[in-house]
A = this chain, B = another copy of it.
Amino acid sequence: MNILGAMQDWEMRTSLLIDHAAREHGGREIVTQWADGSRTRTTWAGVRRDALKMVQALRRLGIAPGDRVATLAMNHGRHLVAWYGATGAGGILHTINPRLFDDQLDYIANHAGDRVLIYDAAFQALVDRMRPHWKTIEHYICFDSGEHALHFEDWIGAEDGDAEWAQGSERDPCMLCYTSGTTGHPKGVLFEHRSNMLHTYAAIMPQCLDLDARAAVLPVVPMFHANNWGFPWAAAAVGAKLVYCANNDAATLCRLMHAEGVNYLAGVPTVWLALLQHIEETGQAMPPLTRALTGGSAMPRAIIERLMRHGIRVAHAWGMTETSPIATIAFEPADYDDRDLDGQVAVKALQGKALFGIELRTVDLDDPARVLPRDGKSAGALQVRGLWVIRRYFKAEQDTADTDQWFDTGDVAMLHPDGTLQLTDRTKDVIKSGGEWISSVELENCAVAHPAVAEAAAIGIPHPKWDERPILVVVKKPGMDVTVEELRSLLAAGVAKWWLPDAIEFVDDIPHTGTGKISKKDLRERFGDYRLDV
């Protein structure tokens, strides 16, 4: 269209964010509590100054736009500097998860082609062990020690910060984050400047993270996990305070939250459970929290209710690395204030609705061409598409999204008539019995409601008549007991009769993946010879 007159041309890049934060919220603090309990402080203006120094230091190393700059680090202010420094130089920040297994660490650094690694001294042993395997890393820099590598502060301290951010397209990649599936190699999700900026705007919304300049956020979620749920970007956009903590035990977090006026905590459900237990056991005052963000796995209803009784607004999000990560969130519908507590908890216990910019659908597990109705009953494979959703994994030879941009999440879910998402399982974990699907997650949720159950996993076992039948594998809490019969009657009250597991087996431990999830793959292998009585 050839029409004279237009709005301005800007590329939405991460440098816009840090410039804004330094200019409009320059004095707002970023606080880090280190493993030894000491605390250091910087500001958004300080982060910008240091990130510009890092841009100069990277250029001095010959790092060019598009080069990968890796971090292997927990949450702290210097890691935040590295986010803006690496992306501000036009580089691609690769946040490595130190909890991965060695073969995965080997694979991803080489696959990414990382040229620089900046790591915490706490991971020195890991670095020493992996260094012979990492072929592309030319420069090792340590965030907090000069003992075995160049100290980060010395590295950037040699520069004066008188530099310009790299220019380029908003469609340039700026971050790389690998997801460790339970099968095959980890896959790299390549975020773009644009997708991160749009995710930032969406995340700030009242019905998403609900962030403003008064927020003082402690993200317990690690910075190497799923774009850190977007906090390093979103906090800069609104001038929120960020508080980082090296130790995530409830007592330490509580003291820090009181000391720094943290009103916003973001963590997986176990973090919330531990916090509530600590508060209730010690009789301590609840920190000045007004917001609770949870994600990573479904938040138990009981925890939501307990938080709400403390006057804390709970945001329950769903997403994955491939969705930057926030795709849905359980926000307050129009009739929320007219509901009783039960009705309000019910809203927050599901995975919520799609943010503007994201679209969801479910398709039949057997016939993916058949789109399922939003009836709150039909469970199917969950697909997602939108402004900050992956199209193709890093270095993959074809798109992972289909031609209509639908990305298959690997989750099994149902959509309610109002668009609310309810996850029921992972696609590969559902159990197919007599042509019908049984949700392993629902069986597990029923079982862990028993006070003596520490962990439970349901898997399918081959069955001559029904194709598969579920068995439930249970770990008891130390010093506590529960019988098969007790569990069976508990389950019978919660699920359809034909879903009841054919066997319940008690074990000492259940295998986990590098990111701490139950490894159903390993569990199925362990029970490979298991035979059901027919």
Contact = CB atoms under 8 A, between A and B. Distances in A.
A241 B335 CA distance: 12
Given A28-B334, A207-B238, A210-B206, A6 B173 contact: yes
B201 A212 contact: no
A contact face: mostly helix, strand, loop, or mixed: loop
Given A3-B190, A20-B356, A334 B214 contact: yes
A506 B188 CA distance: 74
A22 to B, nearest CB: 11
A451 interface: no
A213 B205 contact: no
Interface string A237-279: 1110100000000000000000000000000000000000000
Interface string A409-453: 000000000110000000000000000000000000000000000
Given A5-B396, A8-B391, A213-B332, A237 B356 contact: yes
Interface string A1-12: 101111111101
Given A8-B385, A173-B5, A238 B205 contact: yes
Interface string A54-66: 0000000000011
A358 to B, nearest CB: 9
Contact of A10 (B10, B17, B204, B386): B386
Contact of A211 (B1, B172, B206, B354): B206
Q: How many copies does the complex hold?
A: 2
A316 interface: no
A212 B10 contact: no
> Which residue, A333, A356, A418, has most C-beta atoms of chain B within 10 A?
A356
A239 B418 CA distance: 12
A345 interface: no
B6 A392 contact: yes
Contacts of A195: 7
B198 A205 contact: no
Contact of A1 (B66, B239, B387): B66
Which one of A9, A190, A214, A333 has the highest number of Cβ atoms from chain B below 10 Å of its Cβ? A214
Contacts of A204: 204-206
A413 to B, nearest CB: 16
